[in-house]
Structure 1
Amino acid sequence: MAVTECPAVRGDAPPALRLRLLGGFHLSRGEGDGGGQVDVPAGGQQLLALLGLRGPATRSVLAGTLWPDVTEERARACLRTSIWRLNAASSAVGGPRPGVLALSRRVRMDIQDFTATAHHILAAPAEGTGVACSSLLGTGELLPGWHQDWVVFERERLHQLRLHALEALSARLVVHGQYAPALEAALESTRIDPLRESAHRAVVTVHLAENNLVEAVRHFEAFRGLLRAELGIEPSDQFRTMVRRGFPENG
């Protein structure tokens, strides 16, 4: 999504906003404020996304990052236009200190909820993980179709965070005998990254915990076939030993 012109935004300034970046860009007025999507063209979308993902930044950094292929003067002009039009429509951008821009406190991001949930799972015991499980499933990747370097980096960071959280959640649910949500979390991690061995070990762990040895072997063999076809390699000795012994992996 290259920025080729200064953006424009229409609408009135709402008192609250929700910014969604997972599964695609979407800016809307908060509940109780009339609702409705706020139309934001490419330049404004990238400005909001960059501030949302990286936090406060100087005007020079923002201009250089978002409009790298034009002169500095032109980039700064586009930035000023974007800020003015965004704030005319939504009051989404503020200046916490001179020369620095940040998302307004009016904005609530799905990334905030997602990362808080993931870090809670990685740090907390298994109790109360049902809601956490649902919040990690099916939320979509970060800004699909965007190929800027800063988006690719943040996408991979969130991708890894989600996978680790899902695997940790599955393991803790197994300990508490909650096999159905444990399997759902483990299978979601294999859907997100089909070649990730630790995700497939999480699936097999659930099957073995339920004494479903046939299911465990079937899943292992399917993963083994996938690895051979895609990469020409075999599963690790650790995984093979885990299945051969017929009980969940310890540690």
Structure 2
Amino acid sequence: MQIKLLGPFIAREHHGSIVPSAAKPRQILALLALRSGGIVPAATLMEELWGDRSPRSAPTTLQTYILKLRRLLEQALTPGDDLPGISGDGRPHAKEVLMTRHGGYQLDVEPGAIDAQEFERLQGFGQSAFAAGDFAAASTLLRQALALWRGPALVDVRTGLVLDIEVLRLEEARMTALESRIAADLRLGRYGQVLSELAVLTAQHPLHEGLHAQFMAAQYASGRVWQALQTYQRLRATLGAELGIAPSARVRRLYEAMLAADSSLDAGVPAGPVLRSPV
């Protein structure tokens, strides 16, 4: 089985798609996939579907949705010439993939089958490589992690309270991985390679201090000092107009060092993530 959550929702088994067309079963499958390998309590699934206003019929309706998902799974798992629910070559049954557990349900799929989990695995390795000073490995691993994204997470799934939090967590992790990958490239001296990318990213995220600091670093290291100073001024004006705040002390220090042509910058402009980075 292959499940893709980082973009349009795709879930396929050998013999077809298992993504339901109805909105609520799609939500259930998406949440079970995001937490694959762990038990998702029935109460959590009902909160996702109905918020804090679950109808009396919610437990029964949830069981009906689970049954529909298992039927889709069974159709995808079973070749057309087999009897429904019977596997002649050791393939798992639907109840072995979407299992009922005490108080909830668990989706059991093979490791590496879910792109969101693979993203988090690669991101973890990439961040560890960055912390160890292996910037080439960090850049490669984080680039591989980011390549798994095909658009906003679960872009075609209606999300409730629980999935909203999961999507926000994934999007924040994506931005962290992107910042770290750019930081690794800057440490490797790849200034020209990231300039155009950062120009687009700072336009898309005009309040993100970390990206602006990296853009300043790449511009300064490429000999475009006046552009680096201009980037800071634009960030300061936007933060002031939108949020009524000034850039963080770290970004201000970077700007002041550039103004003073601080010789310490000749050894490489600091380009690590900035903690305060509103989006």
Sort the TM-score into its range (normalised by shorter chain): 0.7 to 0.9
User: Which residue identity lines up with residue 143 of structure 2 in the other structure?
Assistant: C
User: Which residue identity lines up with residue 170 of structure 1 in the other structure?
Assistant: I
Who is 2:231 aligned against? 219
User: Does the 8 Å CA contact 1:173/1:179 hold for their aligned counterparts?
Assistant: yes
Post-superposition CA distance 1:205-226 (Å, at most 9, x none) = 2222333212312222222232
**Alpha-carbon offset, residue 42 of structure 1:** 0.7
User: Which residue identity lines up with residue 24 of structure 2 in the other structure?
Assistant: G
* Higher Rg: 2
Aligned pair partner of 2:125 in 115, 120, 131:
120
User: Do structure 1's residue 42 and structure 2's residue 15 form an aligned pair?
Assistant: no
After TM superposition, the score normalised by the length of structure 1 is: 0.75
Post-superposition CA distance 1:76-131 (Å, at most 9, x none) = 22111111111111257521744431123169322112222322221113224246
User: Which residue identity lines up with residue 255 of structure 2 in the other structure?
Assistant: V
Who is 2:177 aligned against? 165
5 Å matches for 1:157-236? 157-183=169-195, 186=198, 190=202, 193-236=205-248
User: Do structure 1's residue 58 and structure 2's residue 58 form an aligned pair?
Assistant: no
Count of paired positions: 231
**Alpha-carbon offset, residue 195 of structure 1:** 0.8
5 Å matches for 1:4-19? 16=1, 18-19=2-3
5 Å matches for 1:36-115? 38-54=19-35, 55-68=38-51, 69-72=53-56, 74-91=57-74, 94-95=98-99, 97-105=101-109, 108-115=113-120
* Unaligned stretches of 5+ residues in structure 1: 1-15
Q: Distance in 2 between matches of 1:192 and 1:141?
A: 14
User: Does the 8 Å CA contact 1:187/1:199 hold for their aligned counterparts?
Assistant: no
**Alpha-carbon offset, residue 242 of structure 1:** 1.0
Regions of 4+ moved over 6 Å: none
Q: Residue 136 of structure 2: SS of its match in structure 1?
A: coil
Q: Distance in 1 between matches of 2:179 and 2:189?
A: 15
- Root mean square deviation of aligned Cα: 3.1
User: Does the 8 Å CA contact 2:18/2:73 hold for their aligned counterparts?
Assistant: no
User: Do structure 1's residue 142 and structure 2's residue 125 form an aligned pair?
Assistant: no
Residues 163 and 38 of structure 1: CA distance in aligned 2, closer, same or farther (over 3 Å): closer
Residues 95 and 188 of structure 1: CA distance in aligned 2, closer, same or farther (over 3 Å): farther
Structure with the bigger RCO (C-alpha within 8 Å, sep 6+) is 2
Q: Residue 234 of structure 1: SS of its match in structure 2?
A: coil
